[in-house]
Amino acid sequence: MSKLLELRRDDRCVRCGDDLRAGIEAYWLVDRRVVECVSCHSGSANEPTDVAGGSAWAEYERRSEREIEKKRQSVIDDQERRRQRAERRPLVGRIANAVTPEVTMTPASQATKAWATGAAGEERVAEVLAGVPGIDVLHDRRVPGSRANIDHIVIGPSGVFVVDAKKYQGSIEMVDKGSWLRSDWRLYVAGRVAPSWSTVCSVRLRWCGMYSVTSSSPCR
């Protein structure tokens, strides 16, 4: 959820990094407790930001605002129905209103909250990568020709690595689900199988003309 307000103090846009002077209008991102300039907020929710979790947070904000607006309208519609019911048939209408649950504002759906969870996971991975010497890291990059994005791209002496961040909780273990003739190792997190880490990746990336990489190898 975001709010357009007039800044009371100097701040900085979380997406573009521009300095924002006190007194100008900007968006306060309530869940993240950060500020975003009007220009960045008006951009596409799926636009790569080069800020870890940037497009995921933007998508969460978009979905959250849309849900809130729908729920707010549902509450208004319900109140109007109750008013009309009581006016048409005062006694029966009041009884019907009393036994009928009111429509209320409910928390964000799990599908919407998942975007915030994913964005937080990307931010945490970025924090860890920032402490690794000898590498360059790109965040939140668009896959050419699609709406998908890549969470992190790590460029180091031994190669270029695509990192897909996930926020899981629980114990991590490798379990052999194969037979005595052939092993089939699977990654489990909190007792549940994680997305396959042996899928072949094929990614073609271009970023500001500085890197052009083609990779086709098992993701590990």
pLDDT in tens, the chain (220 residues): 678 888 988 998 877 677 888 888 888 887 778 888 887 776 544 454 578 888 888 888 888 888 888 899 999 999 999 999 999 998 988 999 899 999 998 888 888 888 888 898 899 999 999 889 999 999 988 877 667 788 999 999 989 998 888 877 788 888 888 888 888 888 888 788 776 543 333 333 333 333 333 333 333 3
What does the alpha-carbon distance between residue 207 and residue 137 come to, in Å, rounded to a whole number?
12
Chain-centroid distance of CA 142 in Å reads 15
Domain membership of residue 13 (yes or no) is yes
Domain membership of residue 175 (yes or no) is yes
Domain membership of residue 84 (yes or no) is no
Domain membership of residue 125 (yes or no) is no
Helix (H) or strand (E) holding 115: helix 110-130
Domain membership of residue 25 (yes or no) is yes
Q: What is the number of domains present in the chain?
A: 2
What does the alpha-carbon distance between residue 134 and residue 209 come to, in Å, rounded to a whole number?
21
What does the alpha-carbon distance between residue 207 and residue 64 come to, in Å, rounded to a whole number?
30
Chain-centroid distance of CA 34 in Å reads 15
Domain membership of residue 93 (yes or no) is no
pTM of whole model > 0.85? Answer: no
Which structural domain range is residue 27 located in? 2-42
Domain membership of residue 114 (yes or no) is no
Domain membership of residue 51 (yes or no) is no
